[in-house]
Amino acid sequence: MGVIRRIRKIVVGRNSVDNTAQNLGGTEETHNISDHDDALESTYCEEKTSLHCGCFGVPGGRCSECGVISCEKCHRHCGGSEGSNPLGCGKPLCREHSHYLEINGVSLPFCKRCYGKITRGERWRRIGKAIINPFVETGGDCED
26 vs 115, which has greater pLDDT? 115
Nearest to 79 by CA among 88, 71, 92, 70: 88
State the pTM of this model.
0.59
User: pLDDT value at position 139?
Assistant: 63
Average pLDDT over residues 109-114: 92
58 vs 81, which has greater pLDDT? 58
Backbone angles phi, psi at 88, to 5 degrees: -105, -160
CA 134 to CA 40: how far, in whole Å? 89
User: pLDDT value at position 80?
Assistant: 76
85 vs 98, which has greater pLDDT? 98
Secondary structure letter of residue 41 according to DSSP: E
| pLDDT category of residue 56 using cuts at 50, 70 and 90 | confident
User: pLDDT value at position 117?
Assistant: 92
Three-state SS for 116? helix
User: pLDDT value at position 1?
Assistant: 61
Radius of gyration of the chain (CA): 28
Which domains does the chain carry?
Answer: 1-49 (no CATH), 51-135 (3.30.40)
